[in-house]
Amino acid sequence: MPELPPAAPEPEKAIGARLVPETIDVKGEAVRLARVSQSARLAFERNRLERSLTMRGWAMLAGFVGLLIIPTAIFPQQITTLFSGAASLYAKAGVKVNTRGLEFRTINYKRILNEGVLTLVIEGAIANISDHSQTLPPLRIAIMDKGGQSLFSWTLDVEPGVLAPTSVAGFSSRLASPPGDGALLQVRFARPNEAKPEL
């Protein structure tokens, strides 16, 4: 039987060997890594600053809009007192604003016989809803027909002449022999040109 030739010796295995470049510029590599690190850090800081400025800008805009909207919604009476043109803007928005600071609380009427004469008795109350004293303007009272035409009207001074904040003043007026075809009663604050009663 022929003999097999001896096996070729296996090449030596390099256990845990690493491929290492022959020369490394450690100082240059460290400088390069330091520059890359600094550049990345600067980019990160720049992005963070930009985000911060953007958020601050949006916050300032929201605050500015809030400063305009919130008082306008909460204090319509004071806004219209300061800026009379604002009343029409509120009206367009469907918001009723009392620019006088006075409002009618109650208005009642009845017909009575006073010494055989039919007499219309009108009573009511006016409240000061503002935060300061208000001068009470005269009232305009009108008896109107079914179509809204005034048949008879007169003015009434309300006592006291000045009403303190949150106070209420009552008023009362009588009209003997009111128009027989009167169907509607109107009570409102008199305009400056309505100081004298109609005769």
Give 35-55 pLDDT, tens digit per residue: 888 888 888 888 888 888 888
For residue 6, give the DSSP letter: P
pTM for this predicted structure: 0.55
Amino acid of residue 170: G
> Does 102-194 carry CATH code 1.10.10.60?
no
Question: Which of 34-38, 40-44, 72-76, 150-154 is least confident?
Answer: 72-76
> What kind and span of H or E run contains 102?
strand 102-114
The C-alpha atoms of residue 130 and residue 132 are separated, in whole angstroms, by 6
Query: CB–CB of 153/193 below 8 Å?
Result: no
The C-alpha atoms of residue 145 and residue 176 are separated, in whole angstroms, by 17
Mean pLDDT, to the nearest integer, of 44-68? 87
Query: CB–CB of 142/79 below 8 Å?
Result: no
pLDDT of amino acid 199:
42
Bridge partners of 142, per DSSP, are: 153, 186
Query: CB–CB of 152/120 below 8 Å?
Result: no
Spatial CA neighbour of 155 closest among 111, 195, 108: 195
